[in-house]
Amino acid sequence: MNDKLTTPTAGLRGMKSLFVAIGVFSAFVNVLMLTGSLYMLQIYDRVLPSKSVETLLGLTILVAGLYALMGLLDFIRGRVAARIGATLQSRLDARVFKAILRRSVLSTERSRPASGLKDLESIQRLLASPVLFAVFDMPWAPLFIFAIYSFHPWLGHLAIVGGLILVVITLFNQLTTRRHELDASAATAQGEAFAETIRQQGEMVRALGMSGSVMERWQILRERALRAQIASSDRVSQFSTMSKTFRFFLQSAVLGLAAYLVLHGQLSPGAMIAGSILLGRALAPVEQAIGGWPMVIRARQGWKRLELLLGSTPEELEVTALPRPNARLEVNQITVFPPEQQKASLRMLSFNLAPGQALGVIGASASGKSTLARVLSGIWRPASGSVRLDGAALDQYEPDVLGSYIGYLPQDVVLFDGTVAENIARMQMQPNAEQVVAAARKAGAHDMILGLPQGYDTPVSTGGGRLSGGQKQRIGLARAFYGDPVFLVLDEPNSNLDAGGQDALNLAIRQAKAEGRIVIIMAHRPAGIAECDLILIMDNGTAKAFGPRDEVLKAHVRNYAQVAPRVQAE
């Protein structure tokens, strides 16, 4: 679709004709629902008195054909409804996925499970379920009530009163089950999120002897979810049973009243049976809506959450494609506020880097180093000032294109479900084997990868599986080198490396500089800045010093005499 998908409603554009088709099919289906009642009416009022087998045979063949047509139309409207739901999900899937991804970057509540895709699935399931047909069938209830009135006014009055009682039950169902259903959904999501966190951190849990403690906490969440689900189920079952029982009673009441009228010669036996069948059909959509009410609540809440998600996360604007940039980086007076925070992490920061230069960023914890890494890699945008690559602001590049120009290594390296090669190739569907090996060689990870059970085809999982921290970090470094990036942003790249890994890292940085790339390293250890030409010292979000490495270290580091030999030795 070319239309902007700013709300879930946009996903339904162009499908009005499909809903009209369902309405038309529903009209024919409901008219054909009269078949059973008319058949019984003819059997009791025409066939039995005349004892005509031929009439019975003819009516039976006609009814069989009408029921076959009704079944076909009901089947078709079911297929149409299923395709409406599937089309909506297909149209919104990518939009919702991208919105969730952006929200995970723009929100500090990244630990909460993303519900957008589940919300979309709940809407799709509702559209594909028989509950939707209750909406199209309810307007035809007056037709059945009118048919009952045509038999006798008393029967019609009874049907009206019974229908109103069922409507009241439906309203009470809506008012009283909503809170229980929301509580059950929230409790279930909380328990699932906790269990997933424990699964991902299973090794740490076992190593620290936390199994019993986390199990107790998980059981508390699980029991809370079960109690909420039972309360919701009990309430829905209560109203569903109430409506079903009352409908059965009402049909019997109609039969009893009709029998009374037959005894007084005011109604035929056929009308007695037909009236009971018609009443059941008139009230069936109401009962169906009550039974499917939890699905309606989930879909309605999902719709609201999707509106909030898509409304608060607009689609990224299309930008004019720019040529591959040169390695010239300009940071001009940037001030950065982390998402959903009021205090700036970076304030009025400026520096320029030319091709082949390496910048080491050092400073105490919470001084702004990781924030700067996120800004330089295009993850966060500055509130003021600009970051320019070859003269163009970073937001002038399409995000995925910008990502291909940047080699980013975060502090916490995360690998995804796939092979080592696929992770190095940034999860491309068909990785370029030559580029994968080249990136691994540049990162000094080639020999280490060959030593894995299946080499580059070794499967890994989210969290890295059985790989060590150093192995994950070197694979992450290879991923940063993949695709010939213009500049590298390495956040604590040596935090898990041994001496051999540190040597490989320094060689990789030296080679990147020789190839004219820019390298930016956030580091705590002196060995991390051994290959840096420039140093930026961060202090509480501001630049305390910037300039040539040795000059800055000598002027601002108290133990420079001890640090300098280690740096120069590297």
DSSP code, position 430: S
User: Is residue 309 a part of any domain in this protein?
Assistant: no
Distance CA 506, CA 522 (A): 14
Considering the domain architecture, whether residues 120 and 168 belong to the same structural domain is answered as no
Structure tokens at 570: 């590297």
pLDDT of residue 268: 82
More confident residue, 396 or 3: 396
Considering the domain architecture, whether residues 91 and 205 belong to the same structural domain is answered as no
Render pLDDT for 200-254 as a digit per residue (tens, 0 to 9).
Answer: 666 566 666 777 777 787 788 778 877 777 877 777 777 777 777 887 788 788 8
Q: Coil, strand or helix: which one is 347? A: strand
pLDDT band with cut points at 50, 70 and 90 for residue 112:
very low
Query: The whole model's pTM is what?
Result: 0.69
More confident residue, 205 or 479: 479
Considering the domain architecture, whether residues 395 and 474 belong to the same structural domain is answered as yes
Determine contact, residues 180/235, Cβ cutoff 8 Å: yes
Distance CA 84, CA 124 (A): 8
Considering the domain architecture, whether residues 423 and 562 belong to the same structural domain is answered as yes
Residues 6+ apart with CB under 8 A from 107: 339, 340
User: Is residue 299 a part of any domain in this protein?
Assistant: no
CATH number of the domain where residue 272 is located: 1.20.1560.10
pLDDT of residue 329: 92
- For residue 193, CA distances in Å to 42, 200, 298, 306 come to 61, 11, 18, 20
What sign does the dihedral 338-344-346-348 (CA atoms) show? positive
User: Is residue 134 a part of any domain in this protein?
Assistant: no
Considering the domain architecture, whether residues 115 and 259 belong to the same structural domain is answered as no
Provide the b/e sequence for 22-45 (b: ≥16 CB within 10 Å).
beebbbbbbebbbbbbbbbbbbbe
pLDDT of residue 355: 92
What is the rounded radius of gyration, in angstroms, for the C-alpha atoms of the chain? 35
Determine contact, residues 245/165, Cβ cutoff 8 Å: no
List the one residue out of 99, 510, 538, 557 whose CA is nearest residue 350.
538
pLDDT of residue 61: 93
pLDDT of residue 207: 64
Beta bridge partners of 361: 522, 536
pLDDT band with cut points at 50, 70 and 90 for residue 297:
confident
- For residue 32, CA distances in Å to 11, 25, 44, 65 come to 33, 10, 20, 11
pLDDT of residue 200: 64
Beta bridge partners of 290: none
Distance CA 458, CA 535 (A): 38
Residues 6+ apart with CB under 8 A from 238: none
Distance CA 499, CA 346 (A): 33
Distance CA 363, CA 541 (A): 10
Distance CA 427, CA 403 (A): 13
Determine contact, residues 493/528, Cβ cutoff 8 Å: yes
Q: Coil, strand or helix: which one is 545? A: strand
User: Is residue 171 a part of any domain in this protein?
Assistant: yes
Considering the domain architecture, whether residues 389 and 527 belong to the same structural domain is answered as yes
Q: Coil, strand or helix: which one is 473? A: helix
What's the CA dihedral at 200, 205, 207, 211 to 10 degrees? -140
pLDDT of residue 110: 44
Considering the domain architecture, whether residues 113 and 3 belong to the same structural domain is answered as yes
List the one residue out of 529, 519, 272, 287 whose CA is nearest residue 407.
519
User: Is residue 367 a part of any domain in this protein?
Assistant: yes
Could you tell me how many residues make up the chain? 570
Considering the domain architecture, whether residues 118 and 257 belong to the same structural domain is answered as no
pLDDT band with cut points at 50, 70 and 90 for residue 344:
confident
Domain hosting 534: range is 329-569
**Residue 312: how many CB atoms within 10 A of its CB?**
12
CATH number of the domain where residue 446 is located: 3.40.50.300
What region does 519 belong to: left with phi over 0, alpha with psi -120 to 50, or beta? beta
**Total count of domains within the chain:** 3
Determine contact, residues 84/15, Cβ cutoff 8 Å: yes
Whether the per-residue pLDDT at 68 is higher than 90: the answer is yes
* Amino acid (1-letter code) at residue 311: G
The bridge status of strand 358-363 relative to strand 534-539 is parallel
pLDDT of residue 205: 66
Q: Where are the alpha helices (DSSP H) in 464-559?
A: 469-481, 499-514, 549-556
Distance CA 116, CA 123 (A): 11
Distance CA 382, CA 51 (A): 90
The 3-state secondary structure of 502-521 reads HHHHHHHHHHHHHCCCEEEE
pLDDT of residue 111: 40
pLDDT of residue 331: 92
Angle between helix 53-106 and 293-312 (nearest 10): 30
User: Is residue 72 a part of any domain in this protein?
Assistant: yes
User: Is residue 538 a part of any domain in this protein?
Assistant: yes
Structure tokens at 218: 């998980």
Considering the domain architecture, whether residues 364 and 457 belong to the same structural domain is answered as yes
Distance CA 299, CA 293 (A): 10
Distance CA 7, CA 16 (A): 16
User: Is residue 317 a part of any domain in this protein?
Assistant: no
Considering the domain architecture, whether residues 389 and 464 belong to the same structural domain is answered as yes
Pick the last residue of a domain from 243, 267, 291. Answer: 291
Residues 6+ apart with CB under 8 A from 312: 103
Considering the domain architecture, whether residues 199 and 125 belong to the same structural domain is answered as no
Considering the domain architecture, whether residues 255 and 198 belong to the same structural domain is answered as yes
Distance CA 538, CA 364 (A): 8
Least confident of 276-285, 516-525, 542-551: 276-285
pLDDT band with cut points at 50, 70 and 90 for residue 107:
low
What region does 391 belong to: left with phi over 0, alpha with psi -120 to 50, or beta? left
pLDDT of residue 203: 58
Render pLDDT for 129-151 as a digit per residue (tens, 0 to 9).
Answer: 888 888 888 888 888 888 888 88
Least confident of 90-99, 123-132, 557-566: 557-566
**Residue 63: how many CB atoms within 10 A of its CB?**
17
Mean model confidence pLDDT for the chain: 82
